[in-house]
Structure 1
Amino acid sequence: MTAFLIAAALLVVAVIALLLPPLLRTPRFSGSTDQSEANLAIFRDQLAELERERREGSLAEADFAQAKSELQRRLLEEVPAQAAPTTTDGGSRQTALALLVLIPLAAAAGYALLGEPRALDPLQRQARIAPEQIEAMLNSLVDKLQKNPDDHQGWVMLARSYKVLERFPEAAKAYERAAPLVDQDPALLADYADVLAQTQGGSLQGRPSELIERALRINPREPQALLLAGAAATDRQQFAAAADYWSRLLELVEPGSEEAGALTAAIGKAREFAAAQAGGSAKPGASAGAVSGEVTLSSKLAATVQPGDVLFVFARAEEGPRMPLAAQRARVADLPLRFEFDDSMALAGGKKISDFATIRIEARVARAGQAQSSSGDLFGTLSGVKPGSRNLRVLIDQVQP
């Protein structure tokens, strides 16, 4: 926008510079003032001579009139009119001033009527890409990658595009194809971990944590890896470790920034939780009846699943509503999977684990990718679990009829 306005202003100035000088310049005449005065003096002398000759009788009246007329004609030819300059000079200056004002106004009015003023607004100039265009571009990139599957940078670009669109399973698959590049880049490893966490309901346990640890081994100061490592430690109730990760990240952000403020608050809260643990108190905000354990898959069913199959782990009331008290989403590739449920994970408006004397833990490989059970799902359950139980073992060893 600024470049356009500057260019337009320069063009207006150029036009004015061409038009004004001739109008402001003082008019030049063919004769000078001194020459005009001399011609008038000669005219007066010659006219006086003619009148003297007429009085003496040496020049007849008719000859006097003819000579006077001839003298006046010659004077008109030699002396230009003197009245015009003042009027012309004033008119030129008025015209120049009028043009100085009217040209910019006319240019602005013309653009307002015939141009596109909204194009000067940066928000209006932002490209508006329809969803169909985005899909077409993605498909074009996919086609190129199918023809050149070793283009690891292209797979990373595709993964990031899918992540922006929140198509996390597809983003994870794209990152898998870029493994030779991702495995050497801590920033890509951290981003891959974030994508995988999104595919399992936000949980960073299992494969995401492994990727985060690898990223920090390559670069202990990788910002996203430190952020995710702290979040993963919090999920495991390792609050002192979370505070350590985030303290290292705090050193990398701008002091006094919004990010620094948020990190400082998170570090303080994590240290508070760590102190509560050290004093034998329960996790703040969680129930003393939290349950935790591990989910495994029977070796007899291992050949019937794929690493990308969706896995759900639920805590349900032994008797009462079917709505889960807590849930976790993951992938078969994450098995064996650690889980931990407490009252802080209760669904909005739902019951809590501590509301019941016993609960049931259920793990399900969902063929359709949905939380609802369907024929062909693999599952395992553990009943009679009391709130506060630890180190539980849930074995997936059954098939849904």
Structure 2
Amino acid sequence: MTSFILFAALLIVAVIAILLPPLLRAPKPSTGADHREANLAIFRDQLAELERERENGSLALADFEQAQNELQRRLLDEVQPAASAPSETRPGRKTALALLVVLPLAAAGGYALLGNQQALDPLQRQARITPQQIEGMVAGLVEKLKENPDDSKGWLMLARSYKVLERFPQAAEAYGRAGALVDQNPELLADYAEVLSRSQGGDLQGKPTELVERALKIDPNEPQALLLAGAAASDRQQFALAADYWARLLAQIEPGSEEAKALAAAVERARAIAAQGAAAAPAGQTAVANGSAVSGEVTLSGEVAGQASPDDVLFVFARPDEGPRMPLAATRARVGDLPLRFRFDDSMALAGGKKLSDFKTVSIEARVAKAGKAQSSSGDLFGTLSGVKPGSQGLRLLIDQVQP
């Protein structure tokens, strides 16, 4: 709307700028006076000529009087406009003022009467697609896919359309027909898992969990996959695992936002429930977990301390020394919490089900994430202990390096 009004105003200004100068310009000295003076001189010459002819006797008295009267009449006709000129006003200036006022008002009034005023409202200009129109487009897409069933992009579009219509079983089926387009994309795998779960009444176990795990193998920090993985772990009453998934997601959310607050509360509840469950666990299970646990303390070197602030995010995690570098366990804190005590055991296993006790040695890494995310980035501060055997206690991990 603003652009249209500005354009219309500029157009009116341009028209006025073209019309006004000739009307407002001071008139040049009139040539009418010169013309009248020339005519008067001619009249005087003609009158003198008439008098000479009368004196010479070549013109009769009656003819002289008639010619003299004709000259006098013509003289009066010539002089009369000049006498009345001073009393006339300048119509050009009045016209200019009228245009200046009337033209914008006329344009606005004309648009108000004849124009489409709703077109000035950006909300009115937005396309309003009704559910019936979406249904029509979906039906047309279904017909096209019948003719070309190998169109992966078409199946993906159909899946998303069914999701908008909350027709989750059909959406899940369409995702399944999209093939490799979904299989290699962690975001689409997570979306597929969600619609499949919703088509099963919210149950994430089984294939939805498999899809989530595949998504996290491609991208360990895919947000929707982390959210669903935490929910699936919570459904299995693996609350420590759920808390870890959600903590990894929390690291990617803007601190202080409503989403961050809600997720942080869920992480704390899951950890509290996990702690209660560990306290009530049978002695044999506790002994197994304790036997593979690693624990210690993280500190920050004075050489790099000036590059960190108390609110910077701190991650501490365990990785296998050999094989995939997927974290086995992780925790999240702040630089202000240093020195920080940590403890990892099999109950804190992350995606894929791998545990500390499955490996001969692991690495423990602490990282001050300047970007607030778990993945490393330039400027991060970190420290690493390698070759740590499961069951090691009293470890000392010093953060003393800067990521190039």
Shorter-chain TM-score bucket reads: 0.5 to 0.7
Cα deviations by residue, 1:217-249 (Å, 9 ceiling, x for unpaired) = 011111111111122222222222222222222
Distance 1:17 1:195 in 2: 63
Following TM superposition, by how much is the alpha carbon of 1:205 offset from its aligned partner in structure 2, in angstroms? 1.5
Do the aligned residues in 2 keep the contact of 1:36 with 1:79 (CA within 8 Å)?
no
In the alignment, what sits opposite 1:186? Answer: 186
Deviations 1:22-43 (A, max 9, x none): 321222344298x699879989
The alignment covers a number of residue pairs equal to: 275
The offset of 1:139, in angstroms, is 1.5
- Are the equivalent residues in 2 in contact too, given 1:193–1:209 (CA < 8 A)? yes
Distance change (3 Å), C-alpha of 1:238 and 1:36: same
1:86 Cα deviation (Å)? 8.3
Measure the CA separation in 2 of the matches of 1:225 and 1:149: 28
Structure 2 residue 102 is matched with structure 1 residue 102: yes
RMSD: 4.1
| Residue 148 (structure 2) aligns with | 148
Q: CA deviation at 1:85?
A: 7.6
Q: Deviations over 1:195-232 (max 9, x none)?
A: 01101111212211111011000111111111111222
**Alpha carbons 1:226, 1:246 under 8 Å: kept:** yes
Distance 1:177 1:235 in 2: 28
Q: Distance in 1 between matches of 2:256 and 2:16?
A: 52
Q: Residue 39 of structure 1 contacts residue 75 of structure 1 at CA under 8 Å; is this kept in 2?
A: no
CA, structure 1 residues 70+253, in 2 after alignment: closer, same or farther (shift >3 Å)? same
Kindly indicate whether residue 82 of structure 2 is the aligned counterpart of residue 81 of structure 1: yes
Distance 1:42 1:268 in 2: 113
- State the partner residue of 2:241: 241
Label 1:41 to 1:163 Cα distance change in 2 as closer, same or farther (>3 A).
same
Following superposition, which runs of at least 4 residues in structure 1 exceed 6 angstroms of deviation? 36-43, 61-69
Residue of structure 1 equivalent to 2:269: 269
Letter in structure 2 aligned against 1:202? G
Q: What is the CA–CA distance in structure 2 between the aligned matches of 1:253 and 1:86, rounded to whole Å? A: 82
Alignment of 1:284-303 (within 5 A): none
Structure 2: tracts of 5 or more residues without a match:
49-60, 282-404
* TM-score normalised over the length of structure 2: 0.57
Deviations 1:252-272 (A, max 9, x none): 233343333332333233333
Q: Which amino acid aligns with 1:168?
A: F
Between 168-177 and 126-135, the greater mean CA deviation after superposition: 126-135
**Measured at CA, do residues 27 and 130 of structure 1 come closer, stay the same or move farther in structure 2, by a change above 3 Å?**
same
Give SS of 1:81's match.
helix
1:37 and 1:160 map into 2 onto residues whose CA distance is: 89
Q: What pairs with 1:162-241 in structure 2 (closer than 5 Å)?
A: 162-241=162-241
Aligned counterparts of 1:138 and 1:72: Cα–Cα separation in 2: 93
- Rate the CA distance shift 1:72–1:201 in 2: closer, same or farther, 3 A: same
Paired with 2:200 and 2:87, the residues of 1 have a C-alpha distance of: 91
Give me the whole-angstrom Cα distance separating, in 2, the residues matched to 1:275 and 1:192: 33
CA 1:42–1:171 in structure 2 vs 1: closer, same or farther (change >3 Å)? same
Quick one: structure 1 residues 272 and 38, their matched pair in 2 at CA, closer, same or farther if it must change by over 3 Å? farther
Instruction: Report what 1:364 is aligned to.
Output: none
User: Structure 1 residues 83 and 198 mapped into 2: Cα distance closer, same or farther (>3 Å)?
Assistant: farther
TM-score, scaled to structure 1: 0.57
Offset, 1:183: 1.2
**One-letter amino acid matched to 2:223:** P
- Rate the CA distance shift 1:65–1:130 in 2: closer, same or farther, 3 A: same
Secondary structure of 1:224's aligned partner: helix
Residues of 2 paired with 1:274 and 1:87: CA distance? 101
Given that 1:39 and 1:79 are in contact with CA atoms closer than 8 Å, whether structure 2 keeps it comes out as no
In the alignment, the residues of structure 1 paired with residue 275 and residue 69 of structure 2 have an alpha-carbon distance, to the nearest angstrom, of 126
User: Would the alpha carbon gap of residues 219 and 226 (structure 1) be closer, same or farther in structure 2, given more than 3 Å must change?
Assistant: same
**Cα deviation 1:47-87 (Å, max 9, x = unaligned):** xx9xxxxxxxxxxx998998798589569759973864885
Seq. identity, %: 62
| 8 A Cα contact 1:168 1:199, kept in partner | yes
CA distance in 2 between counterparts of 1:269 and 1:87 reads: 93
